[in-house]
Amino acid sequence: MMDDIDRKILDLLQQDTTLSTAEIASRVGLSTTPCWRRIQLLEQEGYITARVALVDRNMVNVPLDVFVAIRTNEHSWEWLDEFARLVGEFPEVVELYRMSGEIDYLMRVVVPDMAAYDKFYKELIKRVKLTDVSSSFAMERIKYTTALPLDYVGDSSKGKRRGK
């Protein structure tokens, strides 16, 4: 069971994964070795799934977010499997969700400009049978974070506590 120290460790790592174990330990009130053990356990238990670098989208020339709403008349497992595989081949697709409601799938695509999106769109509809594709272009990114809220993790007063 995760406790408040684990939550603080995760929060720090979500903000900056380059922090040293000694720095994290200092900030959460532990010595280095117990902090290192907690981080290792958080990884083993699946709380930490990867450590990555966030790249500045403007520096790599993909400033445009396009939200693509997809409808299809195909609802078989085989079609979904093939669709997911094909979409996975497009590096421009950074997120893909199966939705409830009016839209079957929603994806976020990042591209340099409208011409690049048009090229992506034409390749997508050539490779995948879709009923309807509707694209919305983000005019401004108001909030963006990769950090998840940690307030909803189980009650820290219950369950076993990790050793200090």
C-alpha span between 62 and 151 (Å, rounded): 32
pLDDT in tens, 28-56: 999 999 999 999 999 999 999 999 999 99
Indicate the helix (H) or strand (E) that contains 69. Answer: strand 64-71
C-alpha span between 130 and 106 (Å, rounded): 13
**Pick from 93, 66, 74: nearest CA to 131:** 74
pLDDT in tens, 51-71: 999 999 999 999 999 999 999
Residues whose CB falls within 8 Å of the CB of residue 44, separated by 6 or more in sequence, listed in order? none
The whole-model pTM stands at 0.84
Q: pLDDT class for 1, splitting at 50, 70, 90? A: confident
Please name each of the domains of the chain with its CATH number. Answer: 4-44 (1.10.10.10), 64-137 (3.30.70.920)
